[in-house]
Structure 1
């Protein structure tokens, strides 16, 4: 205990001299609430909630490999999660690193390590800057994120953790939409004739300047709003209604007809997007949809592209307007509303998480998407953790980036139980 007190006192002195507010934060932490165990091997490490903070056999060697994983010259490096101290030291040994920006992902873990291990060398380095990860809205490149500390990130740092994971998983998430995929190129090309004869999404642009639009996604909280939406439509008071494809059937069951349906998915089918209820209903679509499904649609069709190079050749030959897509059809629906000129956009069913154990509104588990247990978490509008999946969390980050780029539009959400969407407020009357 005496040795721990000496280590903590020396670490705290350096911290207080350089970052007094962080020293106060460390002193305020209740580290006794952490589930900590010593894990021994050739060396030793500690576990938090069963997760090792580092190798138990060669902590220095592991940190060296991690620091070397950043290729090329890196004058500035962002390190998310200092671990037991080996990681900052390993990056400081790189001669090209002029500035090491260390970000804390969990306050209690950082305070615990300050009690256990001497950190004075790297804390005292003039090349090091230290801050809470959650103090930044965005992440910075190049970065290295400690995998254990990503898993153990605290609630106050959850949003930046989400962005780190989104950046790291982007190559995997995008692998099904590579621009050189021959099957995708063939599908896009198979729609060339339809594209040439169909309408252009840009025909809708600037058509509703200053208006309000309701964008309907299929998160489980949508079920709470069917009556409200239906009543507004029947009274003729509902704003313009844009629905994502998987919301069409649930809306139809409750007597609600949207003004536009948006679909982008190559796997879309007539079960989710049934042509028999499409009379007169405008469909905004991307060229990845099945040609037979498009041909069966009874309402007017309007084609759109994204920035994916997959569409480059068609864009030159058959020009159409573009919509933003960050992985989800909801992005395209939101961008359509904004490009129509709306200044107030209300989101329904934009949960990006499980709500009351459900994944989609009004669809049976597994009916339109694999039925999976939530493996990740995000914070909801009550500041509580709710289960989610990696893809949903990535879609959430993409929408938050989009919202940040459109400060002139008021974005309102209608459910606190789903994921908190940074940059949005909650609708004072429709929130449920």
Structure 2
């Protein structure tokens, strides 16, 4: 033990004894640590610089300036080398600084190498592991280096932080003033006027069991089972997302309801033949050609997006939750129809078996396997390839599930991402 480590840990043991026990078993020896020098110096962990190597203090000041100056409570995600914490604690109006550890081994290593007593001893500081809480806290600053280095225990919070940080950028395509969006909504107007209101479906299946079927690769494990269940007289309601429709049909499985929200969905994804007895639930961004061709009942609804604000005032319709993916309104529809139990199929949010989707070739639906530079934990607790937007969709589904404790959610597979709030289905999840 270094002299720094003993003094740092002594403070932590006095203030947060339970956390100190956890820190003492963190294995910093597994990290590749190097000193990186420039105009100043910093620590590099596994090739990632924790801070600037030129001017750590100036960098910390810039980071602190991104947070509201008058906020009495601030959250820092990642411990870094202590620079941000020291900068924030200079604020006279700061009453509480929560410091959330994103990588326990990295923090343990820093405690060995540098004196951190100044901020650890400040009575305004509260220290905790990020993963001890299920949701992020605002306002916050997340150290970019530790978003990359976050360990498995804190990965769920890392995903929420990245999703929140990217929110404005991701929403740039959904400007209500965009000529393309205005044109698309106008093209669907006549159909929205004459089609059913999705609210007519709300409460129509009280206490029912519902299967919500997405297009993740693990869906392929369940085609035979789903076909057998679909042919039973007494069975769950089958709700599928648009891209799962064709793969289901190819295996002799006809869903009861298809949900679609995306203008990029075409007849290639939703062939209209033989759809007389299949309900289409859609939002007005859907291609009008798809709507015109659909033979079965059509129900229109909106999300909370500003792009529907004017249309909502003109033609009131029921609302479904959208968090970036079509799986969100599909799950919300099941809940609003009255489902007591929902089993998710193909809700992988990752690329198990090095595939992107069930029933489609690599790149057919957008993402290619080669672009997968990120990871989530699967149902076995192992890291599995994914991409950033999938992690964001997963975060939003988990938030949705947490907001509906009256419904029991099952996950049908351990191959895809672990979904907080779900239980692995005893019959389907292997």
Normalised TM-score (structure 1): 0.97
Question: Aligned with 2:371: secondary structure?
Answer: coil
Match of 1:410 among 384, 388, 408: 408
**Superposed displacement of residue 370, structure 1:** 3.4
Secondary structure in 1 matching 2:127: strand
Q: Which residue of 1 aligns with 2:398?
A: 400
Q: How far does residue 42 in structure 1 lie from its aligned partner after superposition?
A: 1.7
Which stretch has the larger CA shift, 369-378 or 294-303?
369-378
1:187 is aligned to 2:156: no
On the 8 A contact 1:352/1:388 being kept in 2, the answer is yes
How far the C-alpha of 1:328 sits from its partner, in A, is 0.7
Matches within 5 A, 1:114-133: 114-133=111-130
CA distance in 2, matches of 1:254, 1:215: 17
1:384 maps to 382
1:369 aligns with 2:392: no
Q: Which runs of 5+ in 1 are unaligned?
A: none
Matched position secondary structure for 1:174: helix
Find the counterpart in structure 2 of residue 66 from structure 1.
63
2:139: which partner in 1?
A: 142
- Give the distance between the partners of 2:66 and 2:254, measured in 1 at CA: 52
The runs of at least 4 consecutive aligned structure 1 residues that moved more than 4 Å come to none
1:69-80 maps to which residues of 2 (within 5 A)? 69-80=66-77
Query: Which residue does 1:98 correspond to in 2?
Result: 95
Paired with 2:23 and 2:203, the residues of 1 have a C-alpha distance of 52
1:274-285 correspondence runs (5 A): 274-285=271-282
- How far apart are the structure 2 equivalents of 1:131 and 1:396? 24
> Aligned with 1:191: secondary structure?
helix
Alignment of 1:191-270 (within 5 A): 191-270=188-267
For 1:99 and 1:180, locate their aligned partners in 2 and report how far apart those are by CA, in whole Å. 41
Among 172, 175, 186, the alignment partner of 1:175 is 172
Distance 2:156 2:27 in 1: 22
Give the Cα separation in 1 of the matches to 2:242 and 2:31.
45
> What is the CA distance between 1:275 and its match in structure 2?
1.5
Q: 2:30 maps to which residue?
A: 33
1:367-401 Cα shifts (integer Å, max 9, x gaps): 12232421111111111111111111111010101
Deviation at 1:72, TM superposition (A): 4.1
Residue among 417, 420, 426 paired with 2:418: 420
Check whether the contact 1:98–1:127 (CA below 8 A) recurs between aligned residues. Answer: yes
Q: TM-score by structure 2 length?
A: 0.97
Is 1:300 aligned with 2:302?
A: no
Structure-1 separation of matches of 2:82 and 2:151: 19
SS at match of 1:184: helix
Shift of 1:220: 0.4
Bigger mean CA offset, 69-78 vs 201-210: 69-78
Q: Per the alignment, in what secondary structure is the counterpart of residue 365 of structure 1?
A: coil
1:267-305 CA-partner distances (Å, limit 9, x unpaired): 111111111242332100100011122111111111011
In structure 1, C-alpha distance between the alignment counterparts of 2:408 and 2:350, rounded to whole Å: 22
- Quote the residue 1:313 is aligned against: 310
**CA shift for structure 1 position 237:** 4.0
Q: Distance in 2 between matches of 1:316 and 1:68?
A: 40
Contact 1:229 1:238 in 2 (8 A): no
Q: Does 1:344 align with 2:341?
A: yes
Which digits, 9 at most, give the CA deviation of each residue in 1:347-367, with x for residues without a partner?
A: 000000011001100101111
- Whether the 8 Å contact between 2:356 and 2:367 is mirrored in structure 1 is no
- Cα distance in 2 for partners of 1:116, 1:72 equals 31
